Structure 1
Amino acid sequence: MADTAPIRVVDRDTGTEFEEVILGEKYIRWAYQDSTSNVLERLLFRSTIVSKIMGLWYDSALSRGKIAPAIKDLGIDETEFLETTDSFKSFNDFFIRHLKPESRPFSTDDNDIVSPADGRVLVFPSLQQDIFVPVKGSRFSIHKMLPDVSDRYVNGALAIVRLCPADYHRYHFPCAGRITDSKDISGALHSVNPIALGSGPDVFGENKRSYTLMDTENAGTVCFVEVGAFGVGSIVNTQSSGEVGKMDEKGYFKFGGSTIVLVFEAGKVNFSQDLIDNSAAGKETLVKVGQTIARISGA
């Protein structure tokens, strides 16, 4: 029987719990939970054609009319925008908007690891060898997600940051370091919504994704993974080499839901207790980019 339970999220700023509003929820449930949708699901989500077409439309001036309704329906705070709303030339121009720096303060303590993006966070303080389980009954493997570099992260730690259409879609480095390697991996574009995660597809092992390895002074080699999803026209990394500072921009996602995964070597970091408690209870925590999510072990 399909799981029809609502998605519950804890707002870190207020401590309150809320039910997430899911754009296109009926369609997502039909595509992933209804047995009659198998053929269409393969057409839409295992092919990138539909997402590419959507991306072209959202890049065009024809999509500007979607901006105002999205701001209203999703409750987006325009006072945080660096640019004025009427300056956006397309929906994607709005979607990859910059924010005023003061709207996302962050800890300058070198021992603090910060969230790379606005989003809903689940943490796994200690992996079961290479396995993490973001949805009850759904097991995912870092060996499949990171086939070339996974061995160093066995028994390590992992954080998932799930972005929704309402979120700021630029992402930033969680700590300072030096980029040593990066790779793009082609794949499908399944939805990253928990409805899809709990309904069969291996989002982390099958979806289009990119990873970056970053050597750090105290956190070991951190792996930063961007996972594409249905409707995401592009994963665009604006900084892919050299030395980087905490909260330097790393890149952005174009339209659609998407996910970032941070993977740490064993014994390098300790996640914040509220994130551990909420994750253990099966609840995501809504955080903002720059908020501390972990500390260097022993710091």
Structure 2
Amino acid sequence: MTPDLHYYDRQKAELAEEKVLGGFFMRLAYGCPAGKLLHWPLFARAFFSQLLGYCADRRMSRRRISGTVKDLNIDMSEVIVPEGGFASFNDFFIRRLKAGARPLAAEKEALVSPADCRILVYPKLEEGSCIPVKGSSFSVGELLGQPGAELAEEFSGGSLCVCRLCPADYHRYHFPADGELRRSWRLKGKYHSVHPMALWSGLRVFAQNLRQVNMLELENFGLSAFIEVGAFGVGSIRESFGGGKFRKGEEKGYFAFGGSTIIMVFKAGSIVFDADLLAKSAENIECLVRMGEQIARKA
């Protein structure tokens, strides 16, 4: 099945087509049978993603910035550009935004998006069930891995959202509410793309890719799992936060070159997703939201 590359832009209230960086390679790797031969050498090991990350850190990679800005229609008016320009393509990729570029929904009962992303929401998780995402699937137990196996059943009947970042997006991610980091662990894995082309190929990307799992105790929302998923081209998941208590909107970390995903899981009866996200997700349409926008409220 061919993936639908349209999403709903929440601010503009219209459907838009996603522009794919490296679209030819993506179609080759995931859209034809011969592409499966590339999966093991390119995606099963860290080497190729680390190599791409190394190249994106070189000064000569700056030549790619202007073309990428134009091709992906990136709004540079909200970006903090260092004196002398960006040192490399990766320096541009992990760019910071100007103060006020992402206003926070400040109400205590408002849960905000952790990133600029395309979001799908799932309001009810059945115990042991697999969550279908654009042709792929995973269970909460698989997502958390062995260190969190005993915690998976705590989220039975709960809710979940998948926040997919693409190369055009601001790639720093933030906490969705006030709270405290209780526990975290890193799960080794593969480096498949999280793009719908990869998901529609049937690969169980979210259950297999490199992941950083965090258990958060959120004020007003209780226990939540906050999972950072690595992807093809992401040299690493990089943590900015040192641990302990945090505030809504505080930076948690960032993804280096590539695209990736944040998955958040909540206990039953803790949140209610916004009606527009529920309606679009029921149609399997991702919604483009910006970091700091409300995506749910306290139940």
- Whether the TM-score (by the shorter chain) exceeds 0.5 is yes
Q: Aligned to 2:58, which of 36, 57, 60? A: 60
Q: Aligned to 2:230, which of 206, 228, 250? A: 228
The answer on 1:255 being equivalent to 2:281 is no
- TM-superposition CA deviations, 1:203-235 (whole Å, max 9, x none): 111000101111123211111110000000110
Residues 205, 240 of structure 1: alpha-carbon distance in 2 compared, 3 angstrom cutoff: farther
- TM-superposition CA deviations, 1:235-288 (whole Å, max 9, x none): 011104111000000010001010000111111000000000000011000010
The alpha carbon displacement at 1:85 in A equals 7.8
Of 80-89 and 164-173, more deviation after overlay is shown by 80-89
Q: Aligned to 1:117, which of 94, 115, 119? A: 115
Report the identity percentage.
43
The answer on 1:134 being equivalent to 2:133 is yes
Give the match's secondary structure for 1:10: strand
Residues 85, 126 of structure 1: alpha-carbon distance in 2 compared, 3 angstrom cutoff: farther
- Report the equivalent of 1:273: 275
Residues 240, 132 of structure 1: alpha-carbon distance in 2 compared, 3 angstrom cutoff: farther
- Report the equivalent of 2:215: 213
Gaps of 5+ in 2: none
Give the match's secondary structure for 1:231: coil
Which consecutive segments of 4 or more residues in structure 1 shift more than 3 A? none
TM-score in terms of structure 2 length:
0.95
Gaps of 5+ in 1: none
The answer on 1:74 being equivalent to 2:76 is no
User: Which AA in structure 2 matches 1:159?
Assistant: C
Q: Aligned to 2:40, which of 24, 42, 48? A: 42
Distance across 1 between alignment mates of 2:168 and 2:26: 17
- Report the equivalent of 1:24: 22
Distance across 1 between alignment mates of 2:169 and 2:84: 19
The alpha carbon displacement at 1:123 in A equals 0.3
Q: Is this contact kept in 2: 1:179–1:240, CA < 8 A? A: no
Q: Is this contact kept in 1: 2:117–2:288, CA < 8 A? A: yes
Q: Is this contact kept in 1: 2:3–2:196, CA < 8 A? A: no
Q: Is this contact kept in 2: 1:85–1:94, CA < 8 A? A: no
The answer on 1:283 being equivalent to 2:285 is yes
Backbone CA RMSD of aligned residues: 1.3
The alpha carbon displacement at 1:38 in A equals 2.2
- Report the equivalent of 1:100: 98
The alpha carbon displacement at 1:60 in A equals 1.4
TM-score in terms of structure 1 length:
0.95
Residues 85, 206 of structure 1: alpha-carbon distance in 2 compared, 3 angstrom cutoff: farther
The alpha carbon displacement at 1:151 in A equals 2.3
The alpha carbon displacement at 1:194 in A equals 1.0
Q: Is this contact kept in 2: 1:182–1:240, CA < 8 A? A: no
Give the match's secondary structure for 1:218: coil
User: Which AA in structure 1 matches 2:105?
Assistant: S
Q: Is this contact kept in 2: 1:9–1:20, CA < 8 A? A: yes
Residues 263, 123 of structure 1: alpha-carbon distance in 2 compared, 3 angstrom cutoff: same
